[in-house]
Amino acid sequence: MAFLDNSGDILLDAVLTVAGRKQLANGTFNISKFALGDDEINYGLYDKTNPSGSAYYDLSILKLPVQSALTKDDISQKSRIIRSLSANNLMYLPELKLDQNSAPAGVMGFASGRSAYAIVANDATYNAITGGGTSSPGTESLPQGFLDGRSAALSTVRRIRTPLGIDNASGTGLGQDQTLDSISPQLEETQYNITVDGRFLQLTQPTEGAAVNISVLGATSAAALQGSVVTPSAKSAVFSSADNLKVYTVTTSTHPALFQAGPTDLVQVFKGPSTSQILCTSFVAQKNQDTLFTTYKITDVASYGPTSITMEVIQTNIEYQSAMGFSLTVPVEIIRQA
């Protein structure tokens, strides 16, 4: 990655991928689409107090160095323009948020002191945390921010909620009891791309017919637990050239068990309406853990979270992106008793 001097003339820097160079060589090269990005721009430099007047408010921004062109999709244009909407009378646009507030309270915040969710990797770690001495959930419960990543079925007991909605100030007539569809059907989202590092995690879902028996956030009985691993999408335009990243394209029609009806269950992270189907996801840790923790753990963390246990920790992110273009990054840590 490099930057180009932007202090003088306007620059146009273009590079071709291997496929593009082949097309240029055989005479078939033709630009049919292009995209613009602003990942390198710091809009916090906009200065409305500049004594020279409004023409100088954005001068520092305009002089920022421009990022050189990149050919790898997984490291370029993290912030993308949302897809075009035909409605021209919209006064609000939704955003994708992490819901850590909705009931039951005190369950889905990050693990204490960690600024991330903690995904429990194996039975020994689960039993050490809960004192249960069993691999099946009974009366034991994990602390706040801890997710069960031991199996596809167990992972569905607690799921990460990432609703789409409008964070709207009160008094404007857009209440929590509305759906985005009531404002405009175009604002409802039915498709998401979920990107994880496939070395560490797999997306899971409750099995068909069992979803209604499994609480999104609370505890459930062992008899109700059923789950399966979701197959990654064969092809996606998001992060497509990163070998380790697996992209799951999920929709309300093809993966209904991953969505919870709203907003009858109020989404407290928004002050306004939210989507009628809230994406709720869970993940299972990969099984080759000796190799993974030996190779990728950051360190051993003493007294991890609210426990007195020393944990081996692997840090990674889960990326959510709606088909409309809204995105969210959720940090997670995969933990195993040291």
DSSP string across 159-172: -EEE-EE----TTS
State which amino acid sits at residue 145: G
Helices first, then strands: H and E counts in the chain: 5, 16
Q: What is the pLDDT of residues 42-65, one digit of tens each?
A: 888 999 999 999 989 988 888 887
φ/ψ (deg, to 5) at 318: -115, 125
If you ran DSSP here, which 8-state letter would residue 42 be given? -
Q: Are 80 and 35 in contact (CB under 8 A)?
A: yes
Q: Are 143 and 125 in contact (CB under 8 A)?
A: no
Instruction: Please tell me the predicted confidence (pLDDT) of residue 310.
Output: 97
Task: Tell me if the bond preceding 232 is cis, omega within 30° of 0.
Answer: no
Strand duo 117-120 + 327-337: pairing = parallel
Residues 6+ apart with CB under 8 A from 44: none
Residue tagged 């189907």 (tokens): 277
Q: Are 331 and 115 in contact (CB under 8 A)?
A: yes
Q: List, in sequence order, every residue forming a beta bridge with 282; answer none if it has no partner.
A: 204
**Among candidate residues 136, 155, 193, 132, the one with its CA nearest the CA of residue 283:** 155
Instruction: Please tell me the predicted confidence (pLDDT) of residue 237.
Output: 46
Residue tagged 């993974």 (tokens): 292
φ/ψ (deg, to 5) at 282: -140, 160
Instruction: Please tell me the predicted confidence (pLDDT) of residue 138.
Output: 46
Q: Where in the chain are the domains?
A: 3-75, 95-337
In whole angstroms, give the CA distance from residue 144 to residue 156.
15
In whole angstroms, give the CA distance from residue 95 to residue 83.
13
In whole angstroms, give the CA distance from residue 203 to residue 211.
15
H/E/C letters for each residue in 92-159?
Answer: CCCEECCCCCCCCCCCCCCCCCCCCEEEECCHHHHHHHHCCCCCCCCCCCCCCCEEECCCHHHHCCCC
Instruction: Please tell me the predicted confidence (pLDDT) of residue 245.
Output: 85
Q: Are 85 and 94 in contact (CB under 8 A)?
A: no
Residue tagged 């004192």 (tokens): 131
Instruction: Please tell me the predicted confidence (pLDDT) of residue 16.
Output: 78
**pLDDT under 70: residue ranges of the chain:** 1-13, 33-35, 70-84, 103-106, 133-140, 169-173, 208-225, 234-243, 264-265
